[in-house]
Structure 1
Amino acid sequence: MSGFAGMTWLNPPPHHTFGDGTLHVRTGKDTDFWRETFYGFRRDNGHFLSRPAAGDFSVEVTLKGEYKVLYDQAGLMVRLSETHWIKAGVEYTDGLAYFSVVVTNDRSDWSLVGIDADPNGVRIRLTRHAEAIRVQYLDAADGHWKPVRLAYFPTSRSVDVGVMCCSPQREGFEVSFSDFVVGPPISRELHG
């Protein structure tokens, strides 16, 4: 199933538009998804446009953002509840764009991988295989999907899946999402 039709917002952004299969978003002030670890706070006010997905699946999107301020971020999210979710995408940290993954099972953790952000956008994919979420991005230089994380995620009949964006240090981060698709899971083979 492709496109954004029938999806609903958790914490709608102050500005968003749809056009030609692309979602354009401008974030609200001090938005984020995080639970406790290191920083000692909880935030659940990031922008998340989603729909339910049952069983195993793969979800992909291409994102392109105007990353300028610390922690500007955009990507995909899989969410079971306020205490169980995964977000993955591009995040601006220390003056560079990184591929960032936050896994939250009651408390959040954070991992970063340096990437060359393609000016045409970055394609990312999350795949659910039973109790595992597989996180990848498409390397524009060689055309191969790069593995970033294989994370535990509680089993459930369905989860909410979609696109998310946040700007924890400001408002007005602009990002676009295109070619959003949810479909059957890719093969469980991890190595070619």
Structure 2
Amino acid sequence: MRSIEWSSGRWHRQPVRTVAEADGGLSVEPGAGSDLWRHTSYGFVHDDAPALLADFPVGSAVEVDFRLNYAEQFDQAGVLVRVDDRNWVKAGVEVSDGQPQVGAVVTREFSDWSVAPVPQWAGRQVTVRVSRAGNALTVRARAAGEPWRLVRLAPLPPDAPASAGPYCCSPSRGGLTVHFGGWRQGPADPTLHPPE
């Protein structure tokens, strides 16, 4: 995997502020009430979360590291894969019902949502990896020192022009700051299931 310079990405929705950190990371403050969601259950459409994106062709994978140091309802960070305003996938860790939950939202006009609790990840560095091969996205995530866990397999047409990179948002408040430690791109995973 090769590192992607923060300066080489393009913002989908500008954050309130960014700070380049001495350790090479990037701190990002999203706007108050920012979110990514379309219609399902809640009835609203939000497309105002800041995301730093680069081209994401078939045959590649993207990884994003961030510190899970947030704890308010619906605070979240991870990877956004964006085709257009009606077709996108966000994957990462979101605080819901009082604890961090790893999961993904797949949107094809309407959003869905799946999560699993990961309270043991609080305060640690988390890496989200999205691999694009054929007609599929494979989402994996892990906390530092742990093995990858499969989060989601989702369809994405191979001819769809997509971009991907780190995102964050805070649907229920302002003042969130997320520290991203790295952003990398490399070859797609060779298989969905690793060998035994």
**Fold shared per TM-score above 0.5:** yes
| SS of the residue 2:8 aligns to | coil
Quote the offset at 1:15 in angstroms.
1.2
Quote the offset at 1:174 in angstroms.
1.3
Say whether residues 1:42 and 2:41 are aligned partners: no
Contact 2:69 2:123 in 1 (8 A): no
> What runs of 5+ residues in structure 1 fail to find an aligned partner?
none
| SS of the residue 1:125 aligns to | strand
Paired with 1:117 and 1:61, the residues of 2 have a C-alpha distance of 15
Could you say if the C-alpha distance between residues 98 and 172 of structure 1 is closer, same or farther in structure 2, counting changes exceeding 3 Å? Answer: same
- What TM-score comes out, normalization by structure 2 length? 0.91
Deviations 1:19-73 (A, max 9, x none): 3321101121110000000100100001111111222211111111432321100
Amino acid at match of 1:6: S
Structure with more of its chain in strand, by fraction? 1
In the TM superposition, 1:63-142 aligns within 5 A as 63-115=66-118, 116-140=120-144
| SS of the residue 1:38 aligns to | coil
Contact 1:72 1:167 in 2 (8 A): yes
| SS of the residue 1:29 aligns to | coil
Paired with 1:178 and 1:10, the residues of 2 have a C-alpha distance of 19
Paired with 2:101 and 2:110, the residues of 1 have a C-alpha distance of 22
Paired with 2:67 and 2:60, the residues of 1 have a C-alpha distance of 23
Which position in structure 1 is the counterpart of 2:17? 15
Contact 1:89 1:101 in 2 (8 A): yes
Contact 1:131 1:154 in 2 (8 A): yes
Paired with 2:47 and 2:178, the residues of 1 have a C-alpha distance of 19
- RMSD, aligned CA: 1.5
Q: Percent identity?
A: 34
Identify the match of residue 183 of structure 2 among 177, 180, 184: 180
Paired with 2:70 and 2:182, the residues of 1 have a C-alpha distance of 20
Contact 2:68 2:126 in 1 (8 A): no
Paired with 1:12 and 1:190, the residues of 2 have a C-alpha distance of 37
Paired with 1:27 and 1:38, the residues of 2 have a C-alpha distance of 24
- What TM-score comes out, normalization by structure 1 length? 0.93
Quote the offset at 1:157 in angstroms.
5.3
> What runs of 5+ residues in structure 2 fail to find an aligned partner?
none
